[in-house]
A and B are shown apart, each in its own frame.
Chain A
Amino acid sequence: MSGADAPRRAGLPLRMLALGLAGLGGAVAVSFLTLNATSALLLSALIGAGLLYFLLSRFMGWSDRWMVIAVPLLWLGIFFLVPFFVLGRISLSETMIARPPYSPLWETDAQGNVEIIASLQNYWFILGDALYRNAYLSSIKIAAISTVFALLLGYPIAYYIARSPEPRRSFLLLLVVLPFWTSFLLRVYAWIGFLRREGVINNTLMWLGVIDEPLVMMQTDFAVYIGIVYTYLPFMILPLYANLVKLDGALLEAASDLGATPMVTFFTVTVPLSLPGVIAGSMLVFIPAIGEYVIPALLGGPDTLMIGRTLWDEFFSARDWPVASAVAIIMLILVVIPMMWLQSVQNRQEEGQ
């Protein structure tokens, strides 16, 4: 859209300015009444920036296009991208008992010589320590196994929904998305009631006479798999569904006309065509699962090693910020590869449309 380059500033109604001023006053009043002073300042600053933008574009002739681009670019740049650089910087420090609890990267002595004291020692420490190595490996293992289970359960569901006639299809989709809107924490909590010794599953099985002794399910890796599959199942089903629903029925008919059994058709036509959906869904489960904290903390046992939990403990219990930062940076490197894969699959799909 090239029209944005040549804004017709005369078309800007003045009532917008009045509206903005009224909004500013209202917001400042409301926020000072209900929040602390910093939040109020922040809110006023936001609205003030909007007003400034209006004045600059109307009276100074600044390019609207760039100012519109700047808002999301700056916000996400400052609060999403820059933090990673801070993370990297602190991972090169040493922990200190001070405020902030990490050493500076350089020191200037009396003669004005700058001495750099950044070091990779935190990384050597983590990579040399079996506990951290096992935590990374076990996170990848748990995330991968959970992803496979989520795929095995999610694919048939997505396929079933995609084949359903219309009113039922929307309803089933809603059923898939609905749990996502209720609290994730409370849904994980619900599984404690299900899996523990006197839980719903054990009580039911004992009442039915299937088992005599309660099964140990809580505080095991099994409980963590269940928790991850349960929480991330909608993320698996939705991209698979979006892919399967576009599947051309004529291809399936052609395959069966040529003598393929439904099984053969499914594995030679449907599955290969739905591969982008499979990859997208699997990555949407696998990547966040690697860094999962809540699920292993609530459902896993003390020996369930996951790197998100290790990082949490390193930060909140050991209070070692530099080591926690280095743990995070290595985790970041681990998840960036599947993330780029996901991105390229999605880009290709968009281009195909």
Chain B
Amino acid sequence: MRRGWFLPIVATFGFCFLYAPIVSLVIFSFNESRLVTVWGGFSTRWYGELLADGQMLAAAWISLKVGVLAASIATVIGTLAAFVLTRFGKFRGKLLLTGMVTAPLVMPEVIIGLSLLLLFVAMELVLGWPAGRGLTTVVIAHATFTSAYVAVIAQSRLRDMDESLEEAARDLGAGPVRVFFDITLPVIAPALVSGWLLAFTLSLDDLVIASFVSGPGASTLPMVIFSKVRLGVSPDVNALATIIIVIVAVAVTIAGLLLMRQSKKTG
């Protein structure tokens, strides 16, 4: 089994399965022909059309704003939840909090989206806030479900971390707030950065929840893409996908290099 041919072949097939569609997206984004899968010569015209598409650009800008705000809120809430769960011992409501940071990871998006929308509608009736749906409601919704992902990442880092560092700081007279900001936070910072990035990506990517809780004038990028794609393949979506893939590849490479450098320094 260990040196057999079976595992490498399945693994190779698996990785091809994961990457072939992405590669073909990139290749056909440079296709001259409108028929996405028939090669009509090299061209960058779809990138030009993409940049001239005002609706797409406006949606991208909204998605970026939502992503940054939601990821920042999610990082604060997720980190606090992880900290409370790993460092505070037992307290009333711990089981509830544990459930609430795990459930959003697997909860079907349609349920999260519909229930949050109904909450916003009910809140508007009772409290008068939020007035209508738009950017604010999308930010709240995204911050809520992505904070669970941040909490998972932060929790595993907090568990792995050497707690004697925090104890030493406390023994030397630092208060809990000081210990958190001077010791805990710097140690878990890389995990928080990846948590923020994950939350940002998830927010940028979400179609279902945003469709439920968004309002007029706040269509996010996935909502615009989906309405386009539903009518069939369109080459400018390929161009957009290629841009996103390049950004992700560059970001991941940089992050990987930074992490390797750091682990060399500390390890």
Asked if A142 is an interface residue, CB under 8 A from chain B, the answer is: no
Asked if B65 is an interface residue, CB under 8 A from chain A, the answer is: yes
A80 touches B38 (CB 8 A): no
Asked if B24 is an interface residue, CB under 8 A from chain A, the answer is: yes
B138 to chain A, nearest CB (A): 10
A39 touches B115 (CB 8 A): no
CB contacts (< 8 Å) of B261 on chain A: these are: none
B22 touches A156 (CB 8 A): no
With A86-B119, A321-B118 as given contacts, are A79 and B177 in contact (CB-CB < 8 Å)? no
Complex Cα distance, B130 from A264, in Å, reads 61
Q: Which of A151-172 contact B (CB under 8 A)?
A: 153-154, 156-157, 159-161, 163, 172
B162 to chain A, nearest CB (A): 14
Please give me the residue from chain B that is nearest to A290 by CB atom: B108
Q: How many A-B residue pairs have CB under 8 A?
A: 297
Asked if B8 is an interface residue, CB under 8 A from chain A, the answer is: yes
Q: Which of B171-190 contact A (CB under 8 A)?
A: 173-179
A1 touches B97 (CB 8 A): no
Interface of A is mostly: helix
With A153-B10, A160-B8, A179-B18 as given contacts, are A331 and B139 in contact (CB-CB < 8 Å)? no
With A86-B115, A186-B241 as given contacts, are A2 and B144 in contact (CB-CB < 8 Å)? no
With A72-B80, A73-B96, A86-B122 as given contacts, are A80 and B69 in contact (CB-CB < 8 Å)? no
A194 touches B110 (CB 8 A): no
Complex Cα distance, B110 from A331, in Å, reads 10
B61 to chain A, nearest CB (A): 10
A71 touches B80 (CB 8 A): yes
For A68, give its contact among B8, B83, B135 (CB under 8 Å): B83
A190 touches B207 (CB 8 A): no
B8 to chain A, nearest CB (A): 7
A79 touches B141 (CB 8 A): yes
Asked if A126 is an interface residue, CB under 8 A from chain B, the answer is: no
With A79-B119, A156-B11 as given contacts, are A283 and B106 in contact (CB-CB < 8 Å)? yes
Please give me the residue from chain A that is nearest to B105 by CB atom: A284
CB contacts (< 8 Å) of B6 on chain A: these are: 156
For B115, give its contact among A36, A178, A328 (CB under 8 Å): A328
Q: Which of A69-123 contact B (CB under 8 A)?
A: 69, 71-73, 75-77, 79-84, 86-87, 90, 100
B114 touches A311 (CB 8 A): yes
Residue in B18, B170, B252 whose Cβ sees the most chain A Cβ within 10 Å:
B18
With A186-B25, A186-B241 as given contacts, are A198 and B115 in contact (CB-CB < 8 Å)? no
CB contacts (< 8 Å) of A39 on chain B: these are: 69, 135-136, 139
A4 touches B176 (CB 8 A): yes
CB contacts (< 8 Å) of B111 on chain A: these are: 87, 291, 328, 331-332, 335
Complex Cα distance, B19 from A197, in Å, reads 21
B110 touches A293 (CB 8 A): yes
CB contacts (< 8 Å) of B229 on chain A: these are: 185, 189, 192, 298
For B106, give its contact among A36, A43, A187, A339 (CB under 8 Å): A339
With A156-B11, A203-B37 as given contacts, are A80 and B103 in contact (CB-CB < 8 Å)? yes
CB contacts (< 8 Å) of A312 on chain B: these are: 110, 208
With A38-B130, A198-B35, A297-B230 as given contacts, are A181 and B252 in contact (CB-CB < 8 Å)? yes
B114 touches A87 (CB 8 A): yes
Q: Which of A6-46 contact B (CB under 8 A)?
A: 7-13, 34-36, 38-39, 42-43, 46
Total count of chain A residues near the partner, CB < 8 A = 104
Q: Which of A271-320 contact B (CB under 8 A)?
A: 283-284, 287-288, 290-294, 297-298, 308, 311-312, 315-316
Please give me the residue from chain B that is nearest to A335 by CB atom: B108
With A11-B174, A38-B130, A290-B108 as given contacts, are A182 and B69 in contact (CB-CB < 8 Å)? no
Asked if B59 is an interface residue, CB under 8 A from chain A, the answer is: no
Interface of B is mostly: helix
CB contacts (< 8 Å) of B244 on chain A: these are: 182-183, 186
CB contacts (< 8 Å) of B254 on chain A: these are: none
A160 touches B125 (CB 8 A): no
**A–B complex contacts, Cβ < 8 Å, 20 sampled:** A2-B89, A8-B175, A65-B91, A87-B111, A176-B18, A182-B22, A185-B205, A185-B222, A186-B225, A189-B25, A189-B237, A266-B1, A283-B106, A284-B105, A287-B108, A293-B109, A312-B208, A328-B115, A331-B110, A332-B111
Closest 9 CB pairs of A and B: A291-B108, A11-B175, A83-B115, A190-B21, A8-B175, A72-B81, A262-B1, A156-B10, A76-B100
- Give chain A's interface residues, CB within 8 Å of chain B: 1-4, 7-13, 34-36, 38-39, 42-43, 46, 64-65, 68-69, 71-73, 75-77, 79-84, 86-87, 90, 100, 153-154, 156-157, 159-161, 163, 172, 174-176, 178-179, 181-187, 189-194, 196, 198-200, 203, 230, 233, 262-263, 265-266, 283-284, 287-288, 290-294, 297-298, 308, 311-312, 315-316, 321, 324-325, 328, 331-332, 335, 339, 342-343, 346
- Give chain B's interface residues, CB within 8 Å of chain A: 1-2, 4, 6-8, 10-11, 13-15, 17-22, 24-25, 28, 35-38, 65, 69, 73, 76-78, 80-81, 83-84, 87-89, 91, 93, 96-97, 99-112, 114-116, 118-119, 121-122, 125, 129-131, 134-136, 139-141, 144-145, 147, 151, 166, 170, 173-179, 201, 204-205, 207-208, 211-212, 222, 225-226, 229-230, 232-233, 237-238, 240-241, 244-245, 248-249, 251-252, 256
